C-alpha cells in the first residue's frame, strides 16, 4: 500500500492539533520531559508497543527524564505522511500531562 507524502500546508494544518510537536529537518519531532528516569523509560516501552501495533517505527532517544521522538515514513522516501501523525497522536496520549485531550 502506497503512502502519500503530505504537503507543507497539510503538515502545518495538522500540527495545530498536536501541541508541542514541530516539523524540523523533514520530520515530526517532540520531546517529553517526565518526572523521573523510570517514567521516561516506561514511556519508551509504551511508545514501542504503539509502534508495533501500528507497524510504524520512529527514532526514539531516552535521556535521564526526557523522551524525544523523530518521526517520518521510510516507505514514502522519508517524507511525513498521515501515518506519522497517527503515531504522534497516539504518543501524545501516552505522556502524563501532555495528552491532547
10-94 has CATH 3.60.150.10 classification? no
Q: Predicted confidence band at 27 (pLDDT cuts at 50, 70, 90)?
A: very high
Distances, alpha carbon 98 to alpha carbons 7, 57, 73, 74, in Å: 26, 20, 24, 27
Can you give the residue ranges of every domain in the chain?
Answer: 10-94
**What's the pLDDT tens digit per position in 30-51?**
999 999 999 999 999 999 999 9
Element (DSSP H or E) covering residue 11: helix 8-15
**What's the pLDDT tens digit per position in 61-82?**
999 999 999 999 988 999 999 9
Amino acid at each position: 500500500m502506497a503512502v502519500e507524502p503530505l504537503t507543507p500546508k497539510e503538515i502545518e494544518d495538522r500540527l495545530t492539533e498536536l501541541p508541542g510537536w514541530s516539523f524540523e529537518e523533514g520530520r515530526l519531532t517532540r520531546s517529553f520531559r517526565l518526572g523521573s528516569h523510570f517514567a521516561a523509560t516506561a514511556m519508551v516501552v509504551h511508545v514501542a508497543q504503539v509502534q508495533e501495533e501500528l507497524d510504524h517505527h520512529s527514532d526514539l532517544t531516552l535521556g535521564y527524564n526526557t523522551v524525544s521522538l523523530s518521526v517520518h515514513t521510510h516507505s514514502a522516501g522519508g517524507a511525513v505522511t498521515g501515518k506519522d501523525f497517527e503515531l504522534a497522536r497516539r504518543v501524545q496520549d501516552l505522556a502524563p500531562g501532555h495528552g491532547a485531550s
